Structure 1
Amino acid sequence: MNVLLLGSGGREHALAWKLSASPLLTKLYASPGNPGIGRVAELVKLDVADHSAVAAFCQEKKIELVVVGPEGPLVAGIADDLRAWGIRVFGPSKASARLEGSKGFTKDLCAKFNIPTAAYGRFGDLASAKAYVEKTGAPIVIKADGLAAGKGVTIAMTLDEANAALEACFDGAFGAAGAEVVVEEYLTGEEASFFCLCDGATALPFGTAQDHKRVGDGDTGPNTGGMGAYSPAPVMTPEMTERTMREIIEPTMRGMAELGAPFAGILFAGLMITDQGPKLIEYNTRFGDPECQVLMMRLKDDLLVLLNAAVDGQLTHMSIRWSNETALTVVMAARGYPGTPEKGSVIRGLDKAEGESVQVFHAGTAINGGALVANGGRVLNVTATGKTVGEAQAKAYAAVDRIDWPQGFCRRDIGWQAVAREKAGA
């Protein structure tokens, strides 16, 4: 079958890499893609904001499935518009994508359907938000309501930090995304990423991971879109997975159906595992980045078969097999990230980094004058598998050290909590 993949990051390269291995695949197109994706797909230039142009391309190339990678087009309703043209799409409707597009919507859903999450308030003006913060105290969490590329969240340890974050939101630091804010209780525990493949009625667990959001070693510095991840997440035991499905995922699926927006696609729950059990931090309505990279390295089944089953409402008949190995990815970022990254520096040595259990996924790269160059903040995802987290970590960093890119940097401690656990249990 002919497939169109929308997106250009490391997540999309991982999806393209896995889709390209499917015997069902006839031709894979990607827009806009990147040089890594270009190794397994034909890159095409489409204005993804022009849904009718995307639909026309799909009809011309006889596209049988569109896979939407990033959240922006989903929140803008591309899945609805393509389906109206009779085109099959993997990705939620605009109404369902509100789970990611509006943090306030999700918090209200949790309140209505008794889904465990942090206590919260929603505010459309600075004065009332500051009054709530003053009353509640710090530490406290400030979130821009809308899409902010993973950067609209501030974990404020003091009232001054909280007020500064509120002022930034209402002063336009995140554009329209910050016109409303959600102020949340600060949760303590261990974070985990939990994924489900959904078809509107059935939610099938689709792996776990732990992300590393802070830019610096030891979880220091500002939040980023993610500096690395590993899978599976040890904290997500079978018992915790069962509780998450029963207390969080299944009520969400029932709630969305009751609201007339049954959820189909990937439901990505950011969790805090507290002393009381799992609590929802937030939902994303697409694969995580860089969590997708480690999930694709561990997935033993044909991804295209699974996506087709989700689109066709056939997940009750499916099961998913995973490698017993751990996968770990290290994000190599351009100097300046998560602020303004330096673009254009030349990257060499990727052929020396890749091997049987190591893949380098392109996240923000371009070709300039025949050379591979940095073209974004997060640029490469160096991903490895191993029998333990420590082994996967060692392989990933050995591959990082074979890449010749002086202007790039990475955290050197991805997976540190799990590695420490392994050493303690040895």
Structure 2
Amino acid sequence: MKAFELSMFVTLELAHRFMKVLVVGGGGREHALAWKLGQSPKVREVFVAPGNAGTASEATNVDISATDVPALVEFAKTNAIDLTVVGPEAPLVAGLVDALEDAGLRAFGPSAAAAELEGSKVFCKNLLRTADVPTADYQTFRNAGDASRYIKDKYPEIGDPAPVVVKADGLAAGKGVIVCQTREDALEAIDRIAAQKEFGEAGNELIIEERLMGQEASVLAITDGETIISLPAAQDHKPAFDGDTGPNTGGMGAYCPTPIVDEEMFEKIERDVLVPVVHAMKRARKPFKGVLYAGLMLTNKGPKVLEFNVRFGDPECQPLLMRLQSDLFDILVAAADGRLAEIGQLDWDERPSICVVMASEGYPGSYEKGREITGLAQAAEVPDVKVFHAGTKLDEGQVVNDGGRVLGVTAIGNSISNAKLQAYTAVQKIRWPGAWCRKDISDKAL
């Protein structure tokens, strides 16, 4: 290599090494993303908008709402941000990635059109049917009256078992899905979603689908619309209480990998779910770039899709990134630039990881904020543990709860049982009035 060519190579490499990244969002997923991106030797500075008390200690928080698209674009332009990573679904559906790209900025995440895969459950189900991807049988409705008549015709007697799931079509912060046991449960769910509009405009349409039985699993993949890199399977815990009882939540904990998804099943999910959906989105002229998250039920007839999300799951993101050894910045930039094929296989820590969510008293219902959290420093001293903040903020220098899901205590260990022990050892050191968590995260794997 000639001297001037070497000099140019070094200059370009140095220019590439010191990048500025903006992570949009303020939950545990965004704390994990900021933490992992900050480990890249190519990243000079990480900003998080709006962030939380945890991101404040590892990045620079920016007081901009995750859904304030004009302000986020202006910040990215003014600060010469090299990569914006959009965490939550709402700004993706609102078109943040489109706005950033229109401004000549690099962004990781799907367009608003592609984000409809999560933004509309009706669109998602219809696409799955078109692509012949296995999913539950379903019916869609535009009003409570038609939906109620359907249930009454199908289950005519009071007290009839009605193993169905009623879902609001739009975004409902993970709460617009109601699992029903009886005819009365279903009618009440329809009333809440479509008549009382408990979840707002998300209930302008609704889906009633058969209830699938089995264990749930999540398989996430990063794609640039052409190449797909699948991530190890994880298992979330949606119901609030031990033994998968109680109301659905945004997720009370997760672990990775999950033994129930063996190599044969993983390949089947890639072949029968992920690849057909990417192709179907391209045919629908909504090419997908970003994280494709398949929420699956592993039935006795094989894996079936419960839902698709268009971003990293929270809390699945935390144990996944705890194990990732490849440079996350390189991966996301390659996906954003349409050259994911250059990345090759990712490197993973072979040890399993588990995330336990600590929540506020009353969640997923109403809860009090502003309660001081203690023991974080002691928890951080537990070996192989990282405490990711979700619903926290700083109040006069003190960390207080500011959401329903407050912390994601994440540990890695030589076995799932060892990772669980480390995570719950750290959990026991953290206190605030009303703090609680499930005690059985990862037990299904054991």
Q: Which bin holds the TM-score, normalised by the shorter protein?
A: over 0.9
- Please tell me whether the aligned partners of residues 150 and 224 of structure 1 are also in contact (alpha carbons under 8 angstroms): yes
AA matched with 2:383: E
Deviations 1:331-372 (A, max 9, x none): 110111110111111111111111330010001011112211
Aligned mates of 1:325, 1:38 — CA distance in 2: 29
Q: Are 1:120 and 2:131 an aligned pair?
A: no
CA distance in 2, matches of 1:51, 1:410: 34
Partner of 1:96: 114
1 CA distance for matches of 2:115 and 2:98? 11
Counterpart Cα distance in 1 of 2:342 and 2:264: 23
* Counterpart among 352, 360, 363 of residue 326 in structure 1: 352
1:143 alignment partner AA: K
Aligned match of 1:34: 52
1:55 aligns with 2:80: no
* Cα deviations by residue, 1:124-163 (Å, 9 ceiling, x for unpaired): 0112212222344411010000001111111101110011
CA displacement at 1:233 relative to structure 2: 1.3
Cα distance in structure 1, aligned partners of 2:373 and 2:56: 17
The counterpart of 1:380, out of the listed 383, 396, 407, is: 407
* Structure 2 gaps, min length 5: 1-18, 156-161
Deviations 1:17-53 (A, max 9, x none): 1011000101111110011011111111224434232
CA distance in 1 between counterparts of 2:238 and 2:215 reads 13
CA distance in structure 1 between the partners assigned to 2:126 and 2:56 by the alignment:
41
Q: Determine whether 1:272 maps to 2:297.
A: yes
Question: 4+ residue stretches of structure 1 with deviation over 4 A?
Answer: none
Report if the CA contact (8 A) 1:201-1:262 is conserved. Answer: no
Alpha-carbon distance in structure 1 between the residues aligned to 2:253 and 2:120: 25
TM-score by length of 2: 0.92
Which residue matches 2:91?
A: 73
Q: Are the aligned partners of 2:220 and 2:230 in contact in 1 as well (CA < 8 Å)?
A: yes
Taking the TM superposition and a 5 Å limit, the aligned residue runs for 1:27-426 are 27-137=45-155, 138-170=162-194, 171-318=196-343, 319-354=345-380, 355-419=382-446
CA–CA separation in structure 2 for the residues paired with 1:186 and 1:407: 33
User: Contact 2:260/2:445 (CA < 8 Å) preserved in 1?
Assistant: no
Aligned length: 419
Q: CA deviation at 1:317?
A: 2.4
Which residue identity lines up with residue 379 of structure 2 in the other structure? A
8 Å CA contact retained: 2:223, 2:289? yes
2:67 and 2:90 in contact (8 A); partners too: no
Report the secondary structure of 1:208's partner residue.
coil
Amino acid at match of 1:164: E
CA contact (8 A) 2:383 2:422 kept: no
Counterpart contact for 2:354–2:410, Cα < 8 Å: yes
Assess if the C-alpha contact under 8 Å between 2:389 and 2:406 holds in 1.
Answer: yes
Deviates more, 1:127-136 or 1:267-276: 127-136
SS in 2 for 1:184: strand
Give the CA deviation at 1:86. Answer: 0.4
Give the SS at the match of 2:64.
coil
Task: Work out the CA distance in 2 between the residues paired with 1:50 and 1:191.
Answer: 34
Structure 1 residues 40-49 or 69-78, which shifts more? 40-49
CA RMSD of aligned residues (A): 1.1
Q: What is the rounded CA distance, in whole Å, between the counterparts of 2:286 and 2:404 in structure 1? A: 34
Contact 2:216 2:297 in 1 (8 A): yes
Which of 89-98 and 315-324 deviates more? 315-324
The one-character-per-residue Cα deviations of 1:189-234 (angstroms, maximum 9, x if unpaired) are 1110000001011111022110111111111111111111100111
Shift of 1:241: 0.9
TM-score (norm 1): 0.96
Higher Rg of the two aligned structures = 2
Corresponding residue for 1:15?
Answer: 33
Query: Could you tell me which amino acid in structure 2 is paired with residue 348 of structure 1?
Result: T
Gaps of 5+ in 1: 420-426
8 Å contact kept, 2:166–2:209: yes
> Partners of 2:199 and 2:266 in 1: how far apart?
34
1: CA distance, partners of 2:52 / 2:384: 22
